[in-house]
A = this chain, B = another copy of it.
C-alpha cells in the first residue's frame, strides 16, 4: 500500500523538486506540502498522512517544539526530520520530542526514500552522520531551557544588561544574575559571548 507523506519546509524550491522526485517513485506519494507550521496544523486536521517530513527552522516556529505538540494530538504519526541542523542537542531533542527519523539535507535523496519506508513501519531511521554523532555523544545530556531561561537568553543576545533585563521582566537584578549563572553552567559557556554562540548553535533562541 502506498505511503502517504506530507512535507513541511519553507524552502519551496526543495519541496517542489523533492515532491516531484518522490511522487515519481510509485511506492510513496506526497499528499500535502506546507511552507509553515500554521498551515501544517490546519492541513493535518483535515487529512492525516502516514509520515510527516519536517524541517526545523520554519518561519513561524521551531520544528523541534512542533514534534512534541503534534505527537500529542496524533500519536500514530511518524515524524521524519529533514533539516540541515547537525548539532547533537537539536537532533537529540527532536527524537526525544517524538520524531522517529532524522535526515540531513546533505544526504542523497535515496536516504529520504529509505527513511520514509523505515519510519512508516515504526522503525527509527537516522542518516549516517547523525547516527555517528549520537553514538559519539551518547553520554552527553540534552540541554533543556525553561521558558524564563530562553526569554533571558534572548534578551542577553539582544544586548540588554542584567539591570535592563530585570526592568523588562519586572524582577530583581539578583534574579536575572542568578539566571545568567545557570545559563552559563547549563550551556557550558565560559562567558556571555560563548553563551550567545552556543545558544545560536543549539537553536535555543
- A residues sitting closer than 8 Å to B (CB atoms) are 10-14, 16-18, 20-21, 35, 84, 105-109, 111-112, 156-161, 189-197, 200
A108–B16 touching, CB < 8 Å: yes
CA distance A192 to B16 in the complex (A): 41
Interface contact A194-B106, CB-CB below 8 Å: no
Which residues of B have CB within 8 Å of A20? Answer: 17, 20-21
A180 to B98, CA, bound (A): 43
Shortest beta-carbon distance from A200 to chain B in Å: 5
Question: What is the copy number of this chain in the assembly?
Answer: 2
Cβ–Cβ < 8 Å partners of A13 in chain B: 14, 18, 105-109, 111-112
Closest beta carbon of chain B to A106's beta carbon, Å: 5
Contact residue among B106, B158, B159, B197 (Cβ-Cβ distance under 8 Å from A157): B197
Q: Which residues of B contact A194 (CB under 8 A)?
A: 157-159
Task: Specify which chain B residues have a CB less than 8 angstroms from the CB of A196 in the assembled complex.
Answer: 157, 193, 196-197, 200
Q: Is the interface of A mostly helix, strand, loop or mixed?
A: helix
Establish whether residues B193 and A109, one from each chain, have CB atoms under 8 Å apart when the complex forms: no
A to B CB contacts below 8 Å, 16 in the list:
A10-B106, A11-B106, A12-B106, A13-B14, A13-B106, A14-B105, A16-B21, A17-B21, A17-B109, A157-B193, A158-B193, A161-B191, A191-B192, A192-B192, A193-B193, A196-B196
Nearest residue, chain B, Cβ from A111 = B13
The answer to whether A108 and B156 touch (CB under 8 A), given A17-B21, A20-B21, is no
Q: Which residue of B lies closest to A11 (CB)?
A: B105
Question: Which residues on the B side are within 8 Å of A17 (C-beta)?
Answer: 14, 17-18, 20-21, 109
A84's closest neighbor in chain B, by CB? B11
List B contacts of A108 (CB < 8 A): 12-13, 16
Contact A107 B12 (CB under 8 A): yes
* B192 with A158: CB separation less than 8 A: no
- In the assembled complex, which residues on chain B have CB atoms less than 8 Å from the CB atom of A200? 196-197, 200
Closest 9 CB pairs of A and B: A159-B194, A17-B17, A159-B190, A196-B196, A11-B105, A157-B197, A192-B193, A17-B21, A10-B106
